A and B are shown apart, each in its own frame.
Chain A
Amino acid sequence: MPRIVRGVLITALVVVVLIWLESGFGASPGFQTVLPDAAWRQLVLFAMVNVVIALSLNVINGMAGQFSIGHAGFVGIGAYTGALVAGHLHVRLGSGDPQFANSFIVMPLVLLASGTIAALFGLLVGLPSLRLRGDYLAIVTLGFAEIFRLVIATAQTGGTAEGSVAKFLASLGGQNGYAGPEGNGVPQYAGPFWIFGSVIVATLIAWRIKFSGWGRALRALREDEIAASAVGVDPTRYKVVSFVIAAAGAGVAGGLFASMHDGSPTVQPDSFTFVQSFDAITMVILGGSGSVSGAIVGGVFVTVTVKLIEQLQGLESIQAFRADHPSIDLNALRMVVYAAVLIGLMILRPEGLFGEREIFRRKRPKKGGGDPDNNAAQKSQSTQESTQDSENSTPADKESTESASSKQATSETLTTAEGTAS
């Protein structure tokens, strides 16, 4: 099948599945059929938002090797932008319950605005700090994220704000959070269609960045900046562009987060503290720096682990234990358990779950029959095939990739981790 036909068919299939998840075509929405428990639905959507955050952070931290530790700041900018846009559009559309049909008007604008504004701030932060070699980016991003949060959290609400900037900041609700223009909550337009759809698109983008000449230059830059510039790679340009891409991705994740189904009705500055930035870094490093699959798995893993530890507290035996020993603060122990899990993983797999590898990456098939060890004697079309194939490796259509590759009987598995770890 020609590449384009296959692409169109897969896209159509994915879109149909996503619409079914959201609307159910008249019947009950597919997502609710699959997951009847609202708490689990919320957890899944939240995990997917975190996956978008991890995927975007992976571009700058994993691929470009520049340490950004203020990613939550960009998520926050995206969230507030998204909440403002969604809130005002919702009023224009006549308020009421958010309709799925209306989300096709609201969400594209929300995501576009969130991504663009976050990208602009990314440019503002990245341009001066990425011209220099070293750890400046870490310091600047950390500072930036805190400044952003504090500016919003400490804005004077109610009463005497003067000047348009102060009035605007006050309208964001300060420490209490932003609850839409009418104060009755940010409209929750981002259902499974938009959230899963964004994850798929973000995965595609991350994957195509990594497996392209552009991504190769980025990874080379991470390995050795001097050598990369000696072969014509402009470090500043690559670093700034990848940082802006990461910021835009974080903004989109923020936009999704703000108007997520079953999410919090307000956007609060405390959702974007250093702890959230740190969680994002954990997701990337846990999954494996530079690995797209790793970022996805890391995002899900961290979200679910934190949630599971919370759920464990509800168990009867734990409740009984708590009643017997009131002096032990289980809430504080939660972080200890989380930390222990992370430490254990880092000891077992210091390079992260995946290292820089991917789950579904076919090796370039061997060409010619002569020398069986002649790994390199591939021809150009084989690279075409492998890149083409990699397009399909989004979570939604893993199966199709799997079946396609098993048909062609080529070796593609999670490359053995041992041995190559260095």
Chain B
Amino acid sequence: MSELVLKNVTKRFGGLRAVGDVSFTVPEQSIFGLIGPNGAGKTTVFNLITGVYKPDAGSAIRFGETDLLPLKPPMIARLGIARTFQNIRLFGQLSVIENVLVASEKNRKAHLGAALLRLPIFYRDESETYDKALELLRIFDLHKMADETSTSLSYGNQRRLEIARAMMLKPKMLLLDEPAAGMNYGEAEGLKKQIHWLRDEFKLTVVLVEHNMQVVMGVCEELHVLDHGETIAHGTPEHVKKDPKVLAAYLGEEASESTTEAAP
């Protein structure tokens, strides 16, 4: 089993409580949405899971049998938790395919010595990873630009390249931080299909931070809603959609009152 469990996770930055006492479990091979208004602490939760930040005392984060708290980001990535970033973080000067190749780090058999001596294992390793990377680029329809520098790609392509790079880790879990940001309706529809397909094809667990409700409601099986770092709702999209606290957080106090009044 490799489900992700967060228990009483708290993170303070100075006096600000960015995440307060958040607990949830992401079941294996589900598509799980983490939503909430701006500044709700969603990205902080991602950073806590991937080890960029360490939570305050009393928190617990487990992935399957493994305690993630003592691990540094590279180790957590090697466990099979891959992520993308809200503000795209590609390796700018590297080509598109090199961006993906870097993520073969965990599976690279040829180490520095083999690379310096150009042993047969080096060539075998390089050609195998190239094939794999190219295959992934094809999935994301980026193979035609494999040799371009990643900064020259369009915004949407850069987002897709980030996902392709994350997939090169052969992850068990994929954390997507606002993958639909800046996408139009059609592109977002495509993204929905792609997320479903990825989950089914690679037996992934997907955790999604997203503002685009078209994507969230269309793809997530379970939602966890944060506001000011606190949990305000949890459940299926249908359930969460009607929750008065969620409506209040998204639309403001009065609006939610009027909608709850209007609702039967």
Contacts and interface: CB of A to CB of B under 8 A. Distances in A.
Nearest to A391: B118
A214 interface: yes
A116 to B, nearest CB: 17
B52 A241 contact: no
A231 B112 contact: no
Contacts of A224: 89-92
A387 B126 contact: yes
Q: Would you call the interface of chain A mostly helix, strand, loop, or mixed?
A: helix
B115 A208 contact: yes
Contact of B74 (A214, A229, A356, A378): A229
A229 B89 contact: no
B115 A209 contact: yes
Interface residues of B, number: 55
A232 B90 contact: no
Contacts of A388: 118, 123
Interface string B56-87: 00000000000000001110011000110100
A384 B123 contact: yes
B102 A216 contact: yes
Interface stretch (A38-46, A48-56, A298-306, A368-376): A368-376
Contact of A383 (B82, B104, B106, B127): B127
A391 B93 CA distance: 23
B97 interface: yes
Interface string A218-257: 0110111011111111110000010000000000000000
Contacts of B152: 420, 422
A232 B106 contact: yes
Given A376-B145, A380-B131, A231 B52 contact: no
Contact of A376 (B94, B123, B147): B147
A383 B118 CA distance: 13
B105 A233 contact: yes
A231 B92 contact: no
A230 B83 contact: yes
B105 A231 contact: yes
A155 interface: no
B102 A212 contact: no
Contacts of B126: 212-213, 383-384, 387
A381 B126 CA distance: 10
A362 interface: no
B28 interface: no
Interface string A258-273: 0000000000000000
A217 interface: yes
Interface string B123-152: 101111111001001000001111101011
B151 A208 contact: no
A230 B82 contact: yes
B12 interface: no
A219 B77 contact: no
B73 A356 contact: no
B147 A375 contact: yes
A224 B112 CA distance: 21
Interface of A: 205, 208-209, 212-217, 219-220, 222-224, 226-235, 241, 290, 356, 363-364, 373-381, 383-384, 387-388, 391, 420, 422
Given A212-B122, A420-B149, 12 more contacts: A208-B115, A216-B98, A229-B74, A232-B77, A241-B112, A374-B143, A375-B144, A375-B147, A380-B127, A384-B127, A387-B118, A387-B122
Interface of B: 50, 52, 72-74, 77-78, 82-83, 85, 89-94, 97-99, 101-106, 108, 110-112, 115-116, 118, 122-123, 125-131, 134, 137, 143-147, 149, 151-152, 165-166, 168-169
Task: Give 4 closest A-B pairs by Cβ, nearest first.
Answer: A380-B127, A376-B146, A212-B115, A227-B89
